[in-house]
Structure 1
């Protein structure tokens, strides 16, 4: 039976992903070689000049442009450059939570998240520790300890191997070209650089010595004008590489005619690494520059460690490209407004994540505590009706949190591109309002078909899984995280989303088992159909792209199938079920990794890169970083540590209480015995609890935010379990 459920679960996933694999290969971007002259010789590619600044967002730029500041005209010229080019939001997250200029430049040069400063340097962003450039040797040593396996200077090494010169102006910018065993090539000033008419790549730090945002805007605009005047043949990239003053997406302006393998959406370039319109990562610039100057985004060697995905710059600068047939049109004038709104939403989402999660946890916890105290003795029907309504309302909140992404709550109280506490209140209010509306809808449907627990659980799981498969349009920058500030994930299934969807899935399968005809075959088929579909949506690299979730869900489904079909196994049976669960986890992981490994290197997900790292030994650093991420928040924050201790006390107390009540139940002496009769209710509830127990344990061990995932899963499951236990009248189960 165990091997049968493994095969049935995997079969649907394989068939689904084989079709997706062919589509992925068809969409693989082709890298064009450098332009050839009519005489057959390869022409030197047009030079690329990267003008970098720091702590500059689209909202901040628009605010300066509309003010009476002397820099208003310079801000206007940058906005004009954006309207004639390809404006984007840039995620500058490095190996540090807040990115100082040195971290940003080193990340740009590595093509992967790196850091030049120790983690505590960005805690005071206006101090020299964050704003000044460390020497190259200490920066390289610090980056080696980041846990991201980045190779500093990978861009410079790859360009040198291709014979393409690279120069940096400014001590901080030179860190982008710093590499082990070599020193960066630096210039004295931008004026000297322009006088020499450089070829290849030039990196210019325009923010050196500029203390205020207005000063940084002025120096950036003047540098842009100087480059356009002296080097009309150059392709100019403008980017803010650091966000230490306020972590948020930063400005980026790519040359007109830049394209992405994922095309455009709403007039904005879709980032290849983010799958989101108008959003790229700082790590994307290195492979983009390599592709533009050498013809290949990953020529091998040092560039193999790059995690960014290449965009395609035009072969010639915007002025020439615009005259060529078929050149891309300039960006829509409303593009900057849309980008500023996206950045505002990302920052508001970052502020709202904890309050929204606490709403779900507190509502579920208060409901469980109230029910535990109130149901120790028989209650009149009216009291049960109140508890049932509260349980149903609370169980709808996780789905409401997802659907709230369709409401622009992040704009409440916003000023100058900055979110306010009103946005947090609006987010919480939207969850509550949508939750109440869902309760009314569920009650209406349940009146016709019955089984509100299966209905709510099924809808919750399906909605989160489908949203992940469609690129997370609701979950990304939503009320429960997965935002562009933390930048842990941009599409697919987030850890919080998986915690909710998987808990709801376990309960939906168990509750629907009551409706199926008797027999093990029906139970196995139900688990295979719903579980296999969930595995495909969650784990397929082209859909949910969730390695930890797929590896977690596989053993949970096996254990759930055993609990539904053979709830009273002996010790040998439990051992075989455990081995089957472990085998299911390994089989799912191997299949997903194999399918991702055959894709081009620059299109692999985290799973494919991790599998490749197992072969070259670099994956152990990733495992160490994730293990550290599991406990680091609690070691660096006293409030978080206190919360953890309180949570552990609550869990231990609940486990002790639950064990005592379980013994009393088996002996027929439980104070809650009056709630159910017969064996139908305990069977599906018991199977759910077994599956949920495996879920919270495995997801805690396999994910770098596993402790919070376990709490979210429990918060999503508790009201559903309680609603399933509550009878329409004392002693009678409605879900027969």
Structure 2
């Protein structure tokens, strides 16, 4: 009896034990906590002042023009910040509201290309007993339609809750005869300036302390432990100089509404927007710097100061600086658990940081995590600013090439599908060319991952440098898969799929740095995910793993443990909290791997098998998420936070956003390669069915699972199918190869074979 037959007939118990052991390994790895970014600061901090400057960019920080900001960049810690909230750029009204909510929030005023409407913020109304933000009900109503679950005023409410809890604790201690700790009288948020009023308001729109200018800074710090300051400056074009204030924002850039969505809706086009005059920017930046200097001069030794560019001044968006100094803050870089990457934070992290600095609990309604300091005594103002400028340039360069990359990949992908159909079903003519096209198209996403290794955005012509890298990568991989000793059978699959899997695995293990600055990953300013495995890279990685599992030449018992070993390693890379952190990818890859192996081992693919595979995938997803949820909140990945949202009843908003984002990908460039793959598969099935090879059947089932399930459970939707097709369709056709028809015996020539009469 052959090994394959043994697996089919009497290997059921062994397979169950193998799967159980594999899942145990996966769950154990998923339980490993991510590396801590930095130790928590134990210094007593009396309070924190947050100065928000909409439009502030790294290029505005100059030793001569903004000396206070320049000094902070060298004396404290800094990072680049994504201000992404609702849509592809964030105007001031939305930025201030998001700061107060700790979640992505939008403004009620129209969002035009120059943010003119959302920059004109009214002062709060005073009613004798306090202040109330103008138009608060309209702001709450507007955010109810965004499905982000933003609870406006969460910052102020968290401090009010702390005050109530401290008061209750004092009463209990007094009743029990224990030492009484006096409640903090400053457990509130004070606002200075019109924009700060939106961030300082509680859920009812009321503000504990407000003043129009910095003349009341001392009183504000005496009243509240958290002070939000709006210097009244937007660093960018003045409203009367904006050349295009009526442009609808959906016509510019990307406008993804789903958390984690990184599929752009179109190439960023600044339209009529022109660069701001230097004099205008310098005056605005100088005014903001003067306000920062006034705050620094008045800041007590036990307080902290955080300065942040809390919004964009116009489209397109960009990264903005965050500068942090004061009690217990060392010189260095900043990071947070929401980014997992050194030197990057998000706007919602500022909310959590303010609460953490004064000892308040971060509520579940706040999506951010406290900013942490990574000490670096050698960091200078010049190096911090240069790094911020480079990070901003990288993120903007990625956006400038992304739409073209997706369009080219989709167009060539359609051609690749046609070449695959020709290779499998067409005549002998041009089969060599069809094979080369299949290999070249499969190499494009692999070259896209590798493009992040060189710093192409620093070139004089970044788009030209990017496309030169893509062309070189495609040429090298295509040639490597066409050599005399690699072109036979499934060997081209080993070369290209192996290169894809190896590149992405090495990148994840080494810190996930390569796809970040390519269209294969998330741009930092999108605020989706700064580290881990993005949906596009996941689709390529999963397709590569399926092809390797199906077509590697397994022998004997290795036919069982080999695919399981590869599958376990792949799932760990995708789902581990200190590696891929991809919850949708984990679910997809587990299901695809099980079904692929099931068929590879000669088992029938039944409805029961599909249900079992789905159940196991969901179990791994649930166990990994629950283990992540049990960690401290500052250590949780988005998987653990999603479990928390399930428990507190807010998960539906996340699911709705993801579904909206996935549906929104239909009609974008990668739709066409996906549609071509469906048509091509039907043509091939009609002409080449049935599939007699277990390896081919396993690959087809695995790739189909990645393409379908991945599109359903990830907010990148049809893009997952597109990238899976780009790598997998042509390679599968090359592995199968053209049909070789059996030659019919020649019909004897009756004349030639007729007996001749002798003479």
- Which consecutive unaligned segments of at least 5 residues does structure 1 have? 36-44, 66-71, 315-325, 414-421, 635-639, 667-678
Kept in 1, the 8 Å contact 2:337–2:637? The answer is no
Classify 1:724/1:650 alpha carbon distance in 2 versus 1 (closer, same or farther; 3 Å): closer
Match of 1:574 in 2: 606
Cα drift, residue 256 of structure 1: 5.9
SS in 1 for 2:513: coil
Match of 1:669 in 2: none
Match of 1:393 in 2: 440
Match of 1:337 in 2: 386
Does 1:429 pair with 2:429? Answer: no
Does 1:511 pair with 2:551? Answer: yes
Kept in 2, the 8 Å contact 1:468–1:543? The answer is yes
TM-score normalised by L of structure 2: 0.78
Match of 2:622 in 1: 590
Kept in 2, the 8 Å contact 1:350–1:485? The answer is no
Q: What are the equivalent positions in structure 2 for 1:206-285 lying under 5 Å apart?
A: 206-208=231-233, 211=238, 212-233=280-301, 234-245=303-314, 246-255=316-325, 268-285=333-350
Kept in 1, the 8 Å contact 2:100–2:154? The answer is yes
Q: What are the equivalent positions in structure 2 for 1:408-427 lying under 5 Å apart?
A: 408-413=455-460, 422-427=461-466
**Distance between the aligned counterparts of 2:108 and 2:519, measured in 1?**
31
Residues 90-121 of structure 1 deviation map (CA, whole Å, 9 limit, x = unaligned): 11111333111111112122222222337xx3
Match of 1:47 in 2: 47
Kept in 2, the 8 Å contact 1:446–1:452? The answer is no
Kept in 1, the 8 Å contact 2:349–2:370? The answer is yes
TM-score normalised by L of structure 1: 0.80
In terms of Rg, which structure is larger?
2
Kept in 1, the 8 Å contact 2:418–2:680? The answer is no
Kept in 2, the 8 Å contact 1:405–1:475? The answer is yes
Kept in 1, the 8 Å contact 2:38–2:373? The answer is no
Cα drift, residue 329 of structure 1: 6.2
Kept in 1, the 8 Å contact 2:546–2:699? The answer is yes
Match of 1:476 in 2: 516
1:687 to 698, 703, 713: 698
Cα drift, residue 312 of structure 1: 5.0
**Distance between the aligned counterparts of 2:20 and 2:328, measured in 1?**
40
Residues 688-721 of structure 1 deviation map (CA, whole Å, 9 limit, x = unaligned): 1122112211111111112111111111112211
Does 1:287 pair with 2:352? Answer: yes
**Distance between the aligned counterparts of 2:540 and 2:91, measured in 1?**
35
Residues 406-439 of structure 1 deviation map (CA, whole Å, 9 limit, x = unaligned): 11211234xxxxxxxx423321221111222334
Classify 1:23/1:588 alpha carbon distance in 2 versus 1 (closer, same or farther; 3 Å): closer
Higher relative contact order at CA 8 Å, sep ≥6: structure 1 or structure 2?
2
Match of 2:680 in 1: 654
Task: Provide the aligned C-alpha RMSD in A.
Answer: 3.3
Q: What are the equivalent positions in structure 2 for 1:572-721 lying under 5 Å apart?
A: 574-632=606-664, 640=667, 650=676, 653-662=679-688, 682-721=693-732
**Distance between the aligned counterparts of 1:329 and 1:644, measured in 2?**
45
Classify 1:99/1:220 alpha carbon distance in 2 versus 1 (closer, same or farther; 3 Å): same
Residues 658-708 of structure 1 deviation map (CA, whole Å, 9 limit, x = unaligned): 443245x68xxxxxxxxxxxx6xx432232112211221111111111211
**Distance between the aligned counterparts of 1:2 and 1:620, measured in 2?**
39
Match of 1:523 in 2: 559
**Distance between the aligned counterparts of 1:371 and 1:536, measured in 2?**
32
Query: Which segment is superposed worse, 524-533 or 134-143?
Result: 134-143
Cα drift, residue 228 of structure 1: 2.3
Q: When you count helix as a share of all residues, which structure comes out higher?
A: 1
Match of 1:42 in 2: none
**Distance between the aligned counterparts of 1:433 and 1:731, measured in 2?**
40
Kept in 1, the 8 Å contact 2:52–2:307? The answer is yes
Classify 1:3/1:583 alpha carbon distance in 2 versus 1 (closer, same or farther; 3 Å): farther
Cα drift, residue 494 of structure 1: 0.5
Residues 711-732 of structure 1 deviation map (CA, whole Å, 9 limit, x = unaligned): 1111111221122133799999
Does 1:556 pair with 2:592? Answer: yes
Cα drift, residue 564 of structure 1: 1.3
**Distance between the aligned counterparts of 1:454 and 1:209, measured in 2?**
54
- Which consecutive unaligned segments of at least 5 residues does structure 2 have? 1-10, 123-133, 164-183, 239-279, 744-759
Kept in 2, the 8 Å contact 1:86–1:256? The answer is no
Residues 193-242 of structure 1 deviation map (CA, whole Å, 9 limit, x = unaligned): 23536241211112447734333302211101212233354422111100
Kept in 1, the 8 Å contact 2:414–2:672? The answer is no
Cα drift, residue 559 of structure 1: 1.2
Query: Which segment is superposed worse, 199-208 or 545-554?
Result: 199-208
Cα drift, residue 190 of structure 1: 2.6
Classify 1:6/1:505 alpha carbon distance in 2 versus 1 (closer, same or farther; 3 Å): farther
Classify 1:220/1:147 alpha carbon distance in 2 versus 1 (closer, same or farther; 3 Å): same
Does 1:349 pair with 2:360? Answer: no
Kept in 1, the 8 Å contact 2:68–2:292? The answer is no
Classify 1:729/1:436 alpha carbon distance in 2 versus 1 (closer, same or farther; 3 Å): farther
